[in-house]
Amino acid sequence: MVSTVTITSQETDLQLIDGNGNPFEVPDYSFNDILKSIPRHCFQRSAAHSLLFVARDLLCIALTFYATLTLTAHIESQILRGVVYAVYGFIVGLFGTGIWVLAHECGHGSFSSSNTINDICGWIMHTSLFVPYFSWKYTHAQHHHYTGNLHKDTVFVPKSREKFLSVNNITELTEESPAASLFWLLTQQLFGWPYHLISNVTGQPHPDVPKIFVNHFWPWSPLFDSSKVFNIILSDVGIACAAYIAYLSINKFGLSNFLIYYFVPYLWVNHWLVCITYLQHTDPSLPHYTNEEWTFAKGAAATIDRDFGFIGDFCFHKIIETHVAHHYCSKIPFYHAEEATEAIKKVMGKHYRRDSTNLIKSLWTVNRRCQFVEGPKGVKMFRNANGFGAPPASNPTKED
């Protein structure tokens, strides 16, 4: 059941209010200020150093695989074997996400100073996880270039108030039930990543092109520059090879073994990928900007660092804890990102955001609080119809 929300406006032309109800100020420093604050050695990249982390993650996966085979060979109980398989899937999913992160570093050129090494290693690692390397590399670069820009960002572009109403097929803001929130959250975590690849969901619309051609696999998709056709085809060839290897594996080892040893960890990788990226760019405290107001420095600050303890630090290569610095300088390798983060904090001051809330709790909170963005100027803040934080505007403008 839904209920109509009583709306009052706290926002004026003189003061912006974020989704938590706190005053928001637009960053006033420049990208140059950020760049000058970061020690030069933070930009140094080493292929050998990066490859050691690849070897470490692969070794952890191999040891987990060996331990699981050894344990289950001596366990007769189907329930206990199921528990061991579940633990295996979770652990391998963590290190599989680590491999994904290292491939992501290749796409940014922070894995090595050699573009050839970056592309070869990135193509192999991403292909092994059914990710079209070059396709993702190009759209992800656009995301970094236009982070927080409502008209040019390529992923997790928030809905406007009008879009929120149309998607939910309603004419006025209504409260969403917890059950509906849970359904959409589970759908996002299980299917969000592959659905984004095949449909560009949460990306910019391309109304002049049939939807079937707006994806990460069609070489002439509007997502890519026409000069990238060959590399998009190379990405597709990689996916075809991965699919063929999966087919051979199923024939040789059986479907159940394929599901247990590859597909379940693959689902965990998808979950963590969506969880990490969603929470890095979605929070009641974060702004989004129109073209007129947006600058690179403002957009990069529209991200948030979070804390996932040992798993984030060891398995995910600090991608959660140092994402703000990563958006300012994506060529900084992850093993220098903490030092870079400490440096940029001095420039960003109150504009630097970090949240140590448990990631699972954060997923639920953000999903309920960040339903759409609106604002009277070129700065748009998250709002919701569930009564959390700052209420939506009582008289929205046409711009909203």
Cα–Cα nearest to 382, from 315, 302, 320: 302
Residue 90 confidence (pLDDT): 98
Answer whether residue 4 shows pLDDT above 60.
Answer: no
The model's pLDDT over 260-274, given as tens digits with 9 standing for 90+, comes to: 999 999 999 999 999
Cα–Cα nearest to 334, from 53, 124, 21: 53
In the chain, DSSP assigns E strands to 16-17, 23-24, 287-289, 305-306, 354-355, 372-374, 379-383
Confidence grade of residue 397 (pLDDT, cut at 50, 70, 90): low
To which residue do tokens 């998009």 refer?
Answer: 232
Answer whether residue 111 shows pLDDT above 90.
Answer: yes
Beta-carbon contacts of residue 143 (< 8 Å; ≥ 6 apart): 153, 154, 155
Between helices 133-145 and 78-108, what is the axis angle to 10°? 60
**77: number of CA atoms within 13 Å, CB side?**
5
Burial 211-243 (b: 16+ CB within 10 A, else e): eeebbbebbebebbeeebeebbebbbebbeebe
Q: How far is CA 66 from the centre of its chain?
A: 31
Residue 15 confidence (pLDDT): 67
The model's pLDDT over 116-136, given as tens digits with 9 standing for 90+, comes to: 999 999 999 999 999 999 999
The model's pLDDT over 272-291, given as tens digits with 9 standing for 90+, comes to: 999 999 999 999 999 999 99
Q: pTM for this one?
A: 0.91
Residue 1 confidence (pLDDT): 33
The model's pLDDT over 5-63, given as tens digits with 9 standing for 90+, comes to: 333 444 444 468 999 999 999 999 999 999 999 999 999 999 999 999 999 999 999 99
Residue 10 confidence (pLDDT): 44
The model's pLDDT over 300-343, given as tens digits with 9 standing for 90+, comes to: 999 999 999 999 999 999 999 999 999 999 999 999 999 999 99
Assigned token pair, 56: 């470490």
Average pLDDT, the chain: 92
To which residue do tokens 């000058």 refer?
Answer: 36
Residue 13 confidence (pLDDT): 43
